[in-house]
Amino acid sequence: MNFASDNWAGAAPAVMSALTRHNSGFAPAYGTDPLTDRISEKFNEIFEREVAVFFVATGSAANSLALAAYARPGGVIFSHSDAHIQVDECNCPEFMTGGGKLAGIAGADGKITPQGLGEAMAAYPDGVVHHGQVATVSISQATESGTIYTLEEIAAIKETARSRAVPLHMDGARFANALVTLGCTPADMTWKAGVDVLSFGATKNGCWCAEAVVFFDPEAAREFEYLRKRGGHLFSKSRFVAAQLDGYFEDDTWLAAAGHANEMAARLADGVRNQGGRTAWAVEANEVFPILKRRQFEALEAAGAKLYEWPAKGLSSNIAPAGDEVCLRMVTSFATTEEDVTAFLKVLSEAA
């Protein structure tokens, strides 16, 4: 019953098979190999246009380097107050952008709104040197609350960003999970809705170590290779990142893995609700935030379940935990089994 994080799962069989398949022989280094070229072409196919793709090792590197590509002196980067770049990346975005300022925006369900974004950007008027310059807007898909921006919400945020002539970045650490839920194409959820640069996450969804920065205007990426090299993320054996992605995309493994994780999360949420519990936020991807009695949490931990307590911020009074309750975070993955879910719900029922 390991629901600690999708990062705790191993690599998907298709990914490991591809790594083995591409391990023999020799290939040019630093991303000049044929397999890297082929996977780059695959990204063009997936996104229905020519894109510029750069492999990196971690999601934090993808986010921070993507934001660095649009850095400005005195630049301000806008995102939700609970976004990963705000609270979980050890100031890496500020470091990589040469001192960019992160401006957090409050918003229900882990999302920013066009109105909230507009008000936050208004505090940094153009041409006032004392306040700095608006630089980038960043959204997380899925969010830190496990919710998903609709295509209309993304487009509306882009319109607000466009009013100040700044690009829109998407942190897609759980990109595939959101994509499966929306039932749209990768193009629909990105550039067609106004996204300029994407942190394409694959590690959480079955890869071993494979993230990418995707620019939807290749001209915007002309100097990115230097940012990546300076940041220490140019792989010498780049073909092994490409190999992971080869297995990831093969037979739509990435979509099947995300779909399974989402389904397991939905079953957990339904089970919690059927037993009289509730979730802090809507379950729209592969994260569940149940609010349970503390005795239930303790019983689950005693039975070997891996899950975390989670801060329940900004919840209405009818949702927020009472004195004897606790908000938890649970994350499912391609490796989560139906038996895991059944066992969890059995312990939950016995401790009710």
Residue-wise pLDDT tens digits, 219-250: 999 999 999 999 999 999 999 999 999 999 99
The single-letter DSSP state of residue 238 is T
Instruction: Tell me the C-alpha distance between 184 and 186, whole Å.
Output: 7
Region 73-101: mean pLDDT is 96
Write down the pLDDT at residue 319: 87
CATH superfamily of 254-350: Aspartate Aminotransferase, domain 1 (3.90.1150.10)
Rg (CA), the chain: 21
- Identify the band that residue 276 occupies on the pLDDT scale cut at 50, 70 and 90: confident
155 and 190 in contact (C-beta within 8 Å)?
Answer: no
Q: What pLDDT was estimated at residue 316?
A: 79
The residues, any chain, with a CB within 8 Å of residue 25's CB and separated by 6 or more, are: none
Task: Classify 86 as helix, strand or coil.
Answer: helix
Contacts 24+ apart (CB under 8 A), 215-222: 215/51, 215/52, 215/53, 215/69, 216/47, 216/49, 216/51, 216/190, 216/191, 218/50, 218/51, 218/52, 220/52, 220/69, 220/70, 220/167, 220/196, 221/52, 221/54, 221/69
List the beta bridge partners of residue 104.
79
**pLDDT band per the 50, 70, 90 thresholds, residue 152:** very high
Residue 80 in this model has a pLDDT that exceeds 80: yes
126 touches 164 (CB < 8 A)? yes
How far is residue 297's CA from residue 312's CA, in Å, rounded to a whole number? 15
Q: What is the pLDDT of residues 89-123, one digit of tens each?
A: 999 999 999 999 999 999 999 999 999 999 999 99
| pLDDT, averaged across the chain | 95
Q: How does pLDDT run across 166-210, given as a tens digit for each residue? A: 999 999 999 999 999 999 999 999 999 999 999 999 999 999 999
pLDDT given for residue 104 in this prediction: 97
Q: Write down the pLDDT at residue 11.
A: 96
Q: Which helix (H) or strand (E) element contains residue 79?
A: strand 75-80
Q: List, in sequence order, the alpha helices (H) in 103-204.
A: 114-122, 151-162, 175-182, 186-189
| Nearest residue to 35 (alpha-carbon basis) of 240, 261, 269, 209 | 240
d(Cα 333, Cα 335) in Å, to the nearest integer? 5
Q: What pLDDT, on a 0 to 100 scale, did the predictor assign at position 323? A: 85
Average pLDDT (37-65) is 97
- Residues contacting residue 276 through CB under 8 Å, at least 6 positions apart: 352
The pLDDT, as a whole number, for residue 78 is: 98
Q: What is the mean pLDDT of residues 122-149?
A: 96
Q: Is the link from the previous residue into 142 a cis peptide, with omega within 30 of 0?
A: yes
Percent of the chain having pLDDT more than 70? 100
Q: How high is the pLDDT of residue 318?
A: 81
In this prediction, residue 2 carries a pLDDT of 92
Residues 298-352: pLDDT tens digits? 999 999 999 989 988 778 778 888 889 999 999 999 999 999 999 999 998 887 7
For 44, 137, 191, 209, 255, the CA distances from 38, given in Å and listed in that order, are 10, 31, 22, 18, 20
- The residue extents of the domains of the chain are 15-252, 254-350
Residue 285 has pLDDT above 80, yes or no: yes
Q: Is the pLDDT of residue 24 over 80?
A: yes
Lowest-confidence range among 158-172, 275-289, 304-318? Answer: 304-318
Q: Supply the pLDDT for residue 317.
A: 75
More confident residue, 79 or 314: 79
CATH code assigned to 15-252: 3.40.640.10
Residue 214's beta-bridge partner residues? 53, 198
- pLDDT by residue (tens digit) across 243-272? 999 999 999 999 999 999 999 999 999 999
